[in-house]
Structure 1
Amino acid sequence: MIYRILPLILLFLMSFAPKATNTTKTETDPKLLASNNAVTLSAKIEMIYSSLDANNFSLPQLTCFQKALQGFYALKEKGLIEKDIITVIDFSLSSTKKRLWVIDLVSNKVLYNSVVSHGMKSGGEFANSFSNEMNSNKSSLGFYTTGETYQGKHGLSLKLDGQERGINCNARARAVVVHGAGYANPSILRTQGYLGRSQGCPAIPEGLKNEIIQTIKGKSCLFIYHPSRAYDITTKLVSQS
């Protein structure tokens, strides 16, 4: 456990480091300040990642986690996030893999790790095409905040609000929500070789839907990742690759 705790202790001590009294070019140049802030945030995120308690699950890829935390902090600063819980979905992975993580950033612990469906028009085993358009039946990348729950055709479901204009801002209008579905149950992998697909919703196994939805509802952050150059160019919440 000590190797998980030490990075957090170091990060805490760094926050109390004395500030230089002399003003230097680095302290006054906006470009250098921005660069230094980015380096500091990157170091903070790597420390958090290195100290994550996997809870006997796998961990998301570091690149995916870095982007997720960048956006989380940006949304937190805007007052759009109220819970220190983040849901990370990595659509660069096969739908046969557990590519959804729910992480408690207070305890620094992975709470859930599950398979998750992508949109039927986004691809078969792998998701490779994304859209913000109505009736596209595709998944949308980027950052969302979780909204309210409701009872729909899939039972307990969770509304999502896309926070990136042109990328996922039509999520609520498209009824892109978190819900459970039979086609998202891992057992389907044995019959067709890949997870069933949705109309654009991140659908999860029915056996986990109640626990996950109750955990992440009410202004937590959900991030759907893919190493898409188009996303990197368009997003305002994370730095470009």
Structure 2
Amino acid sequence: MENQSVVRRQRLKRRTRRMARRVLPFVASLFLATPLAAPVTKSKAATTGSELRSISPEAMKAVLFDQRVQGLYRELGVEQQGLRYEVFEKALTGYLNLEQEGKLGNKQLLTVVDFGLPSTQKRLWVLDLANKQVKFHTLVAHGHNSGENMATNFSNENESNMSSLGFYVTQGEYTGKHGLSLKLQGVDEGYNTNALARSVVMHGAEYVSEDFIRQYGRLGRSLGCPALPMDQKDAIIEAVGGQTCLFLNGPDTQYSSKYLNEEVAMSKLLSDTQMI
């Protein structure tokens, strides 16, 4: 069943979207100290003020949250790289929830993997939220039984050889059969909480490369791990290790998470001066 807070938020968005388009520049100037694009006439200011009074505090908070998320999305420049806004918004919502619960360290990194895209596309992003930069954007493999070029099946079960969707908190590094690797703790009950027991880790693989794509028309596939290109895996693992947020998105309409609580995310983001 879809997360109730998300359903409420979607309804709120629909009710306020039309009014938000008219009052958003005025709201931004008041709350974010950003200058208006043009002087506000007396009549326009009066109309805007009337509309503002008709918006509930909850709706105003939602408008400000949307503006902040959209602004961060634009500053990161990830739309041009293929990261869809709806995926970014979900990932950031989970990040903020995990941060609010004290589950994340101090690195302020968010790693997003979008398994809604084919394996032939670069579908992993490591985002530096503090400095508003993309640290890495690269290929990543999905599990063997999740699909061929497109990942369509996901599982939390041992020996399923499928990828597991949801939010993870990265753990410590270790050296195994794939060289430097990174343990991942799944935090979405029913979706990825068996990750440690399944040895679902971040590691490098020779089958994650442009050469492999040219030869086979897709990436190779793992046993469920988000496998990385060999020439980037050490740098990525060292960067994101130690309690950072990883979000694996995919085309599963049944997926839900307690970390998609947008009320918590709104309160956290609007009070966080480092991400403004």
TM class, shorter-length: 0.7 to 0.9
How much has 1:239 moved relative to structure 2?
Answer: 5.9
Alignment partner of 1:157 out of 173, 176, 181: 181
Count of aligned pairs? 215
Q: Percent identity?
A: 42
Q: Deviations over 1:34-86 (max 9, x none)?
A: x55444333221110011145xx714111111111000000000001112001
Alignment partner of 2:119 out of 92, 95, 100: 95
Structure of higher CA gyration radius? 2
What TM-score do you get using the length of structure 2 for normalisation?
Answer: 0.72
Distance in 2, matches of 1:134 and 1:146, equals 20
TM-aligned CA distance change 1:103 to 1:25, over 3 Å = closer
Do the aligned partners of 1:11 and 1:44 also contact (CA within 8 Å) in 2? no
State the secondary structure of the residue aligned to 2:259. coil
What TM-score do you get using the length of structure 1 for normalisation?
Answer: 0.82
Distance in 2, matches of 1:145 and 1:53, equals 24
Do the aligned partners of 2:182 and 2:202 also contact (CA within 8 Å) in 1? yes
The structure 1 segments of at least 4 consecutive aligned residues displaced by more than 6 Å after TM superposition are: 10-13
Equivalence for 1:60: 83
Do the aligned partners of 1:103 and 1:112 also contact (CA within 8 Å) in 2? yes
Q: RCO greater where, 1 or 2, for CA within 8 Å and sep 6 or more? A: 2
Do the aligned partners of 2:152 and 2:251 also contact (CA within 8 Å) in 1? no
1:120-135 counterparts in 2 under 5 A?
Answer: 120-135=144-159
State the secondary structure of the residue aligned to 1:189. helix
Distance in 2, matches of 1:213 and 1:116, equals 13
How much has 1:193 moved relative to structure 2?
Answer: 0.6
Extract unaligned runs of 5+ from structure 1: 1-9, 18-23, 28-32
Equivalence for 1:218: 242
Q: Does 1:81 align with 2:104?
A: yes
Equivalence for 1:236: 258
Do the aligned partners of 1:188 and 1:194 also contact (CA within 8 Å) in 2? yes
How much has 1:192 moved relative to structure 2?
Answer: 0.7
Do the aligned partners of 2:97 and 2:261 also contact (CA within 8 Å) in 1? no
